[in-house]
Chain A
Amino acid sequence: MSAFFIMIGASLVLAVGFLIAFIWSVKSNQYEDDYTPSVRMLFDNTTNQKKDKETKQQSTKTK
Chain B
Amino acid sequence: MENTIQQPVTKTICYHCGEDCDNDSIETDEKIFCCHGCKTVYEIINQNNLCSYYDIETAPGINQKKAIRSGKFDFLDDAKIKSELIHFKDSEQEHITFYLPQMHCSSCIWILENLKKINPGITRSQVNFIKKDVTIVYDFKKTTLKKVAETLTLIGYEPHISLNNAEGKKVKKTDNSRIVKLGIAGFCFGNIMMLSFPEYFSMGEIEDPKLQQWFNYLNLILSLPVFFYSASEFFVSGYKGLRQKFLNIDAPIALAVLITFLRSVYEILLETGSGYLDSMSGIVFFMLVGRYFQNRTYQNISFDRDFKSYFPLGVSVINSDNTEKQVSVSDLKPGDRIKIHHDEIIPADGILFLGKATIDYSFVTGESLPVEKSIGEIVYAGGKQTTGAIEMEVVKETSQSYLTQLWNNETFKENKEEPKKSFIHSVSRYFTYSLFSVASIAAAYWAINDTSKIWNAVTSVLIVACPCALLLSATFTNGNMIRILNKYKFFVKNESVIERMESIDTVVFDKTGTITEQTQSEIHFEGNPLNQEQNRIIRSLAGQSNHPLSRHILSCLPFDKTLPVKSYEEIKGQGTTATIAGSLVKIGSAQFVTGSNHFSSSRGSRIFVSINDEFLGCFVIQNNYRKNLREIISALKNQFQLKILSGDNASEEPFLKTVFGNQTEMLFNQKPEDKLRVIKKLQQRKRKVLMIGDGLNDAGALKQSDVGIAISDNTNTFSPACDAILSGKNFILLNELIRYCRKQKQIIYSSFVLSVVYNLVGLYFAVQGDLKPVIAAILMPASSVSIVLLTTGMSAFYELKLKRMNLTKVSFSPDTHHS
Contacts and interface: CB of A to CB of B under 8 A. Distances in A.
12 contacts: A4-B211, A8-B195, A12-B218, A19-B187, A23-B180, A34-B130, A36-B128, A39-B109, A43-B52, A43-B113, A48-B49, A51-B52
A1 interface: yes
Interface in B144-179: 174, 176, 179
Contacts of B106: 39, 42
A29 interface: yes
A10 interface: no
Interface string A40-55: 1011100110011001
B127 A36 contact: yes
B179 A31 contact: yes
Interface in A3-41: 4-5, 8, 12, 15-16, 18-19, 22-23, 26-27, 29, 31-36, 39-40
A50 B342 CA distance: 44
Contact of B174 (A29, A36, A51): A29
A24 B408 CA distance: 44
B179 A44 contact: no
B151 to A, nearest CB: 19
B49 A26 contact: no
B591 interface: no
A8 B49 contact: no
Interface in B83-127: 106, 109-110, 113, 127
A23 B183 contact: yes
B130 A35 contact: yes
Interface of A: 1, 4-5, 8, 12, 15-16, 18-19, 22-23, 26-27, 29, 31-36, 39-40, 42-44, 47-48, 51-52, 55
B402 interface: no
A35 B48 CA distance: 27
Nearest to A51: B49
Given A8-B195, A36-B109, A47-B52, 6 more contacts: A5-B214, A15-B191, A19-B183, A26-B179, A33-B131, A43-B56
B183 A26 contact: yes
Contacts of B176: 26-27, 29, 31
B208 interface: yes
Given A8-B218, A39-B109, A15 B130 contact: no
Interface string B40-60: 000000000101100010000
B110 A43 contact: yes
A15 B130 CA distance: 32
A37 B758 CA distance: 44
A19 B4 CA distance: 71
A16 B183 CA distance: 11
B131 to A, nearest CB: 7
Interface string B52-80: 10001000000000000000000000000
B216 to A, nearest CB: 13
A42 to B, nearest CB: 7
Interface of B: 49, 51-52, 56, 106, 109-110, 113, 127-131, 174, 176, 179-180, 183-184, 187, 190-191, 195, 208, 211, 214, 218
Nearest to A18: B187
A53 to B, nearest CB: 10
Top 8 nearest A-B pairs by Cβ distance?
Answer: A36-B129, A39-B106, A33-B128, A19-B187, A26-B176, A35-B129, A22-B183, A26-B179
Contacts of A15: 187, 190-191
A16 B225 CA distance: 13
Contacts of B191: 12, 15
Contacts of B128: 32-33, 36
A14 B432 CA distance: 41
Nearest to B179: A26
B353 to A, nearest CB: 47
Contacts of A47: 52
Contacts of A23: 180, 183-184
Contacts of B211: 1, 4
Nearest to B129: A36
B130 A36 contact: yes
A33 B171 CA distance: 14
A4 B195 CA distance: 11
Contacts of A42: 106
Contacts of A5: 214
Residue with the highest number of chain A CB atoms closer than 10 Å, among B129, B180, B184? B129
B208 A1 contact: yes
A23 B79 CA distance: 40
A21 to B, nearest CB: 10
Contact of B52 (A8, A31, A33, A48): A48
B287 to A, nearest CB: 19
A29 to B, nearest CB: 7
Contacts of B113: 40, 43
B52 A44 contact: yes
A26 B127 CA distance: 19
Contact of B49 (A1, A27, A52): A52
A23 B191 CA distance: 17
A32 B174 contact: yes
A12 to B, nearest CB: 7
Contacts of A31: 176, 179
Nearest to B127: A36
A19 B187 CA distance: 7
Residue with the highest number of chain A CB atoms closer than 10 Å, among B109, B131, B184? B109
A24 B109 CA distance: 26
B69 to A, nearest CB: 31
Contacts of A52: 49
Nearest to A47: B52
A28 B84 CA distance: 25
A48 B375 CA distance: 57
A35 B49 CA distance: 26
A8 B211 CA distance: 11
Nearest to B113: A40
Nearest to A31: B179
A5 B179 CA distance: 31
Contact of B184 (A19, A39, A43): A19
Contacts of B208: 1
A50 to B, nearest CB: 11
A47 B541 CA distance: 59
